[in-house]
Amino acid sequence: MSRLLIDNIGLLASGDLAEPRLQADSLLIEDAAIAQIGGRPHVDEHLDAGGGLVCPGFWDAHHYAFFGDYAPLSESRGYLEASVRCGVTSAVSVGAAHLPGRPRDALGGTQLAILSTRSWAVERPLGLKMLAGTLIAAARLTADDLSEAASAGVTCLSFLDEVPGAPELAQLAGAKGFRIVAEAPVAEGVSADVILSVNGTRTHPGLDDTEVGRFLNRSNPMLVLSATGSLKRAVEIATRFPLDRLTLGSAQPDRVGVRPDAIPSMIELLVGFGNLDPCRAIALASGNAARAYAQRGGVIRVGAPADLLLASTTSGSDVVRDLADGQRLRIQHVFIDGAIS
């Protein structure tokens, strides 16, 4: 039974907006989970945080996973390992949309979702947890297709384009326990649990305040701010709407390429230009994302998976002040299930 104590923590961010900053300076990891917050128990191993930041590993709530650590759209290799080094410990694939020759029919789409789910249950670049159980909505998907996918571990149905009969299909999938995910331009009518790229992407402008408010008033979904969308609009949305309905995603890979540091850069943007408290901004990229997809993790809590970061800033002094001044996060250690990646 391995036990690791991280102590001398200067800032402990919980990932939970209800209590974003924890008043403790130590953390015990035991058998892949958080075993204790605060205190000085006897341990086998010890890590001095040097007064730095400890927080949950970041989540990318909007990703397009292919197979393995490769993106055919931009011919990018090794970018997921690089993302882990930038602090991302979990990512949610909204479907293998960039597969060359991707089948657009119900049968092919169902089989692809099952294959992706099974493949990413095994493939773990530097330990990354890719939640790839997503079926891309297609015409003529049936209740049997949804049941087959669900039995193989598929948990989300994503609407990335216009689909005939989308409202009825979303209602059917929701009744079977699927999370409904939709790109912002096609989210009307599907009562989505998660709406992607509300601040736009390279191909659509995103939602204005009236549209954001209408979605929140109607079904109260989780809204994903995209790293490939308007950064100005991301700051506006984060400062005008409830933070408990917002999370962060890379919306990558795309044709331009990939940015492994997309998620920490979004946190830095919201702190430096949106004046968000760093612990609250971190919660958007951790606990909020896990909650959006009804998954465990994303928080520092006894019993939660030990997916953690130890970080400082460029100057290595006060994390809160440095991020507010526009400094960058410097990731020193990444833990996934208690192991250093």
| Residues 150 and 262 grouped into a single domain | yes
| Residues 273 and 327 grouped into a single domain | no
Task: Sort 180 into a burial class: Cβ within 10 Å, 0-12 / 13-18 / 19+.
Answer: buried
| Residues 160 and 269 grouped into a single domain | yes
Under 8 Å between Cβ of 309 and 57: yes
- Tell me, yes or no, if the pTM score tops 0.85: yes
CA dist., res. 204 & res. 184, Å (int):
9
CA distances from 115 to 110, 245, 268, 270 (A): 9, 31, 36, 36
Read off the CATH number of the domain in which 11 is found: 2.30.40.10
CA dist., res. 128 & res. 143, Å (int):
32
Q: For residue 43, what are the domain limits?
A: 3-55+299-340
User: pLDDT digits over 49-100, tens only?
Assistant: 999 999 999 999 999 999 999 999 889 999 999 999 999 999 999 999 999 9
pLDDT in tens, the chain (341 residues): 589 999 999 999 999 999 999 999 999 999 999 999 999 998 989 999 999 999 999 999 999 999 999 999 889 999 999 999 999 999 999 999 999 999 999 999 999 999 999 999 999 999 999 999 999 999 999 999 999 999 999 999 999 999 999 999 999 999 999 999 999 999 988 999 999 999 999 888 999 999 999 999 988 899 999 999 999 999 999 999 999 999 999 999 988 889 999 999 999 999 999 999 999 999 999 999 999 999 999 999 999 999 999 999 977 778 889 988 989 999 999 999 999 98
Number of domains making up the chain? 2
| Residues 263 and 249 grouped into a single domain | yes
| Residues 76 and 10 grouped into a single domain | no
Residue listed under structure tokens 């990703």: 63
Read off the CATH number of the domain in which 233 is found: 3.20.20.140
Residue listed under structure tokens 């090794």: 78
| Pairing outcome for strands 11-13 and 53-56 | parallel
| Residues 242 and 270 grouped into a single domain | yes
First to last CA, the chain: 19
| Residues 240 and 182 grouped into a single domain | yes
| Residues 125 and 18 grouped into a single domain | no
* Cis peptide bond upstream of 253, omega within 30: yes
| Residues 105 and 76 grouped into a single domain | yes
| Residues 335 and 269 grouped into a single domain | no
CA dist., res. 40 & res. 185, Å (int):
52
| Residues 218 and 107 grouped into a single domain | yes
Task: Sort 67 into a burial class: Cβ within 10 Å, 0-12 / 13-18 / 19+.
Answer: middle
| Residues 220 and 243 grouped into a single domain | yes
